[in-house]
Chain A
Amino acid sequence: MSITRWLSPLLVALGILGVWEFGVRAAGIPPFILPTPSRVLITLWDNLDNLLPAWWFTVRITFVALALAALGGVLIAATFALSKTLERALLPYAIVLQVTPIVAIAPLLLIYIDSTTTALLICTWIVAFFPILANTLAGLRAVDPNLRELFQLYAATPLQRLRWLLAPTALPYFVAGLKISGGLALIGAVVAEFAAGAAGRETGLASRILEASFRTEIPKMYAALVLISLTGIAIYLTFGFLAERLLVRWQGEVARS
């Protein structure tokens, strides 16, 4: 990995932050309109004991929902791959869930489900499962027909076919889906919480942003935003790294996403 790959975006970030910092200072813009980056950082540090538990809550929602989305997505994809009839009957509804904005679904779910945490998990799951389902399904369909016949010729059992042919073929597709879903799950967790407008201790970063906005604590809004962005970047990089590690043997098999 070349240094420039890291250096150039880092320089851009430093440049923007520099212009922001000194621009705001020079123009004398008050912090309740646009805080300087240094002010945001100080606010983040000062409010850490308030923001960190909220961050942890959001991260937990994100990853629990993502794990369930991976499980559900793979199971549904496997079912669809086994039964064309079931796929025809059910795939349209998976698409309906996918294309309906989560902010429109969340308020309803919150009415029917007592536990806010459960409702948030469901919302996040809805956002995150589709890319995994669609990719895994495409992967299961991408099996080389000759290899399929080879397994037929060997009289392989369905389990052998799954372990040695279907799963390895679908793996890179699944991982590509997981990379997309990782980012979506965080968005889902935050958006759903905005819709919930939840308050109290067991709440995430979206609630901190809402509270701060009611009190016009602009620097704190930025601080929470910074935490969300950093988390998103971390998820993206982690999954990218994992994918690269996991798929060494598959290089060049599927166009990298």
Chain B
Amino acid sequence: MPALPLQPAAAAAQSLRSAAIGKCFDNGVEALRAVSFDIAAAEFVGLVGPSGCGKSTLLRIVAGLAAPSSGALEITDRAQLRPAFVFQEPTLLPWASVFDNVWLPLRVRGISRAEARPAIEAVLARVGLAQFERALPRELSGGMKMRVSLARALVTEPNLLLLDEPFAALDELTRFRLNDDLRGWWSAQQFTTLFVTHSVFEAVYLCNRVLVISARPGRLHADVPIEGPHERTRIWRGSPQYAEQCGRLSALLEQAAEA
């Protein structure tokens, strides 16, 4: 994959260390309690847990959108950190074209439309939306909107990609396709990936490691390495190894809900 122009030489993927992170909201709800984990550079890590367990909160803390109440988040080189965040909804500017939506993160940095064009065209081609530059979000299907959202994240050449249940609202076929694409982009770009999902199957399909968070207050219940081929395909989804790990992770998730 050719490097996108405009960007400083791709900064190395970042490793993370969460040291006993806790989070209490103002209303007294304790969302997270002493969550510690290490994520190596360029790892693809899933976060699963019962709903309301604080996995989204954890992701927001990693993104810098929320501050932990206790503990700390360490990142190898904060100055080099280029995070990108993908929300559960596509979260596009409804009045702006696909092109302008993808331009936004570059525009904020003062990069003109003309300067940004090659990078935007490249990333739109990569997500399969080359023909839709001028379309408005409302003219696109749910899956296409999510592709725009992913393009907007990828155009900044992130070295840390954070995704908060990005495919939860999509139909299964679209979700499978986007799963494969995401895994493909990851193996080409080697960004550190933290992927929140409520689907055990999606987690095992995509990730190299899955962190299971317990019911509120969220604690780290299990840290599960996923054994699987580097290239994840339909064959992987049908393999006994995949099914076995899905079963094991499901059991852990049920335990986590009781914990």
Contact = CB atoms under 8 A, between A and B. Distances in A.
Interface of A: 144, 146-147, 149-156, 160, 164-165, 168, 249-253
B136 interface: yes
A155 B93 contact: no
B167 interface: no
A168 B87 contact: no
B95 A147 contact: no
Interface string B109-133: 1000000000000000000000000
B49 interface: no
A149 B65 contact: yes
Contact of B91 (A146, A154, A250, A252): A146
B104 to A, nearest CB: 7
B91 A249 contact: no
Interface in B147-204: none
Contacts, number: 44
Nearest to B88: A146
A16 B119 CA distance: 64
A152 B83 CA distance: 12
A-B complex: 5 closest residue pairs judged by Cβ atoms:
A146-B91, A249-B95, A154-B108, A156-B108, A146-B87
Contacts of A154: 104-105, 108-109
B89 A251 contact: no
A150 B64 contact: no
Interface residues of B, number: 19
B94 interface: yes
B91 A150 contact: yes
Given A160-B108, A251-B138, A252-B138, 17 more contacts: A147-B91, A149-B87, A150-B104, A152-B65, A153-B63, A153-B64, A153-B65, A153-B83, A154-B108, A155-B108, A156-B108, A164-B93, A168-B95, A249-B96, A249-B136, A250-B94, A250-B95
Q: Which of B91, B95, B107 counts the most chain A CB atoms within 10 A?
A: B95
B85 interface: yes
9 contacts: A149-B85, A152-B65, A153-B83, A154-B108, A154-B109, A160-B108, A164-B104, A168-B95, A251-B138
Contacts of A156: 108
A147 B108 contact: no
Contact of B95 (A150, A151, A253): A253
Contact of B89 (A146, A151, A168): A146
A150 B96 CA distance: 15
Does more than half of chain B's interface fall in helix, strand or loop, or is it mixed?
Answer: loop
A147 B90 CA distance: 10
A250 B104 CA distance: 18
A253 B94 contact: yes
Given A155-B108, A250-B94, A150 B136 contact: no
Report which residue of A153, A249, A251 has the largest number of chain B beta carbons within 10 angstroms of its beta carbon: A153
Interface string B128-145: 000000001010000000
Nearest to A171: B95
Nearest to B87: A146
A164 B100 CA distance: 11
Contacts of B108: 151, 154-156, 160
A151 to B, nearest CB: 8
A251 B63 CA distance: 33
Interface string B59-70: 000011100000
Nearest to A249: B95
Nearest to B83: A153
A150 B94 contact: no
Nearest to A153: B85
A250 B94 CA distance: 7
A168 B100 CA distance: 13
A250 B93 CA distance: 10
Given A150-B85, A153-B85, A156-B108, A168 B138 contact: no
Contacts of B107: 164
Residue picked from B63, B89, B94, B138, most chain A C-beta under 10 Å: B94
A156 B104 CA distance: 10
A160 B104 CA distance: 10
Given A153-B64, A154-B105, A154-B108, A147 B93 contact: yes
Given A154-B104, A155-B108, A164-B107, A144 B95 contact: no
A84 to B, nearest CB: 16
Interface centre among B63, B85, B108, B138 (most CB of A within 10 A): B108
Contacts of B94: 249-250, 253
Interface in B11-47: none
A137 B229 CA distance: 54
Nearest to B164: A146
A154 to B, nearest CB: 4
Contacts of B91: 144, 146-147, 150
